[in-house]
Structure 1
Amino acid sequence: MIIFFCITFNVILVSGSSLSNQVKQDPAEMYSKPGVTAKITCSHSIEGYTQIFWYKQLKNKEMQFLGYMNVKDGYPEEGVNVTIEGRASKGETCTLTTEQLSLDSSAVYFCAAKHCDSSGNEAYFGGGTKLTVLEPEHPITEPTVKVLPPSQKECRNQKDNEKRKTLVCVASEFYPDHVSVSWQIGEKEVTDGVATDSAALRNGKYYSITSRLRVSAEVWYEPSNKFICTVSFFINETTKKNSSAFIHGEKAKDTNAMTREKYLRITQSAKLTYSVFIVKSSIYGAFVAFLVWKLQGSSGKQNY
């Protein structure tokens, strides 16, 4: 009954905390063929925690409970086709074994360490294991990587001190979707201004993913800057291969250069100025002629 109440009422799952860093899963990534067996291990270093729970994250992000281990006894759920073996105390290893893998076995699997008592202690997640069951006659295919330069129209309406340029990295034509993306400017890895798709998108047999890097216009308009996108593709749980692409920054265009638009503005302004000058000159000339005529008239009367 104590174990039952621990599982049913007192399991509070927590991820991202300092204690979650003490829960380890291995491997983080793995591929398998249909019909074979997959093993995932979990261990923790949290004092007093003697239970490990196992979950499968479904495609709709819901968590399916697979079973748990209490100290040294495993209790898998009925109908989930798994076994749970090992031990669940601090420093020991618990193993989840999935028999006869099928395409539906592809998912992210999580373990969580728990202290069984009546005080409602949290259960802390591990980092997860992404398992992909490979589709028949569908070979592992590495990604093609390209880096696209910023749009010429970007930041036209922004203030000079706020102008930003967006570079886009596209990784495409890969299978399965076990990838991660990173950026460098020169030899320095950058994370500020980076936004990567949360998951790869599948189109037909293959996947694609995009990542964006936003930098200041000043950084982009420096030809010596080299912008590198690296896609790490997991060949298996122990090996990954990096594929990279890069572009250099470009030279800023001469803002003083004469363009057709600028030429038209200048000529129109010159025409207007010239027209105003002609009108003023005509008025001034008429006024001078009027004064001369008046002076001549006054002089003729005096002589008479």
Structure 2
Amino acid sequence: MKFTRIAVAAVASAAALGLAACGGGSGGGSGSGSGSTVKVGIKFDQPGLGLKEGSNYSGFDVDVANFVAKELGVTPQFVEAVSSQRETLISTGQVKYIVGTYSITDKRKKDVSFAGPYFIAGQDLLVRADDSSITGPDSLAGKKLCSVKGSTSAANLQKKVPGVNLQEYNTYSLCVDALKAKNVDALTTDDTILAGYAAQPQNQGKLKVVGQKFSTENYGVGLKKGDQEFCNKVTAALQKFIDSGEWEKSVKKYLGPANYQPGPGNPPKPTCQL
């Protein structure tokens, strides 16, 4: 009897180990097992796009990330993807994919692959509501400009306005704080991000978007370099997000309150870009 109990226990233990081995882990994950958990990079400080408030996440990019995860049959565990760390997070396997206003560029495609674009934005300027001296990039001489380390926005402005007094912070929210405190004169990044900040209740009437776009930013889902199979799956999920009407619904919900209208080319046709 004692031997039987031991044998049963051993079998039960082996079965449990087998189930554990089949289950998804909490790391980067394979993204192929139904119900498995994978880490997904998003922004935590971009209202209307990727915002963390307590244990809640909201925004257009969050909707994209959740829709893709659902199509893949996985559960997303969100990780903050600061602009300057995105390529590292992907290449080291700390996240499976990133949905965080991640512009597709040739430089980035040397290190990561993209599924997209799923949105086309444009770079603009955010200033204090009472400032009429800044009307576009050509009026930035002598002004202090803020952007985020590792973003395409900073690089674009340095090329367009050589010698511009650029202050680089780790997050856009820090730039917004600096703008309101008059430590900088303008914040530059994509118009979608700027509209989100301007629409926040605490910023209404205090900040405004200049409305002079001077770049084209193609947002893509960043993933491991050369992962063709996974890239194809994400691309299919993005197309379904657009075709189902969820794309338009999410844009209206999160960017509509700022009177933002998607520019030409939206919604785009996503492809796998290795």
Pick the TM interval, shorter chain. under 0.3
Q: Point out the structure with the larger strand share.
A: 1
Structure number with higher relative contact order (C-alpha < 8 Å, ≥ 6 residues apart): 2
Structure number with greater Rg is 1
TM-score by length of 2: 0.25
TM-score by length of 1: 0.23
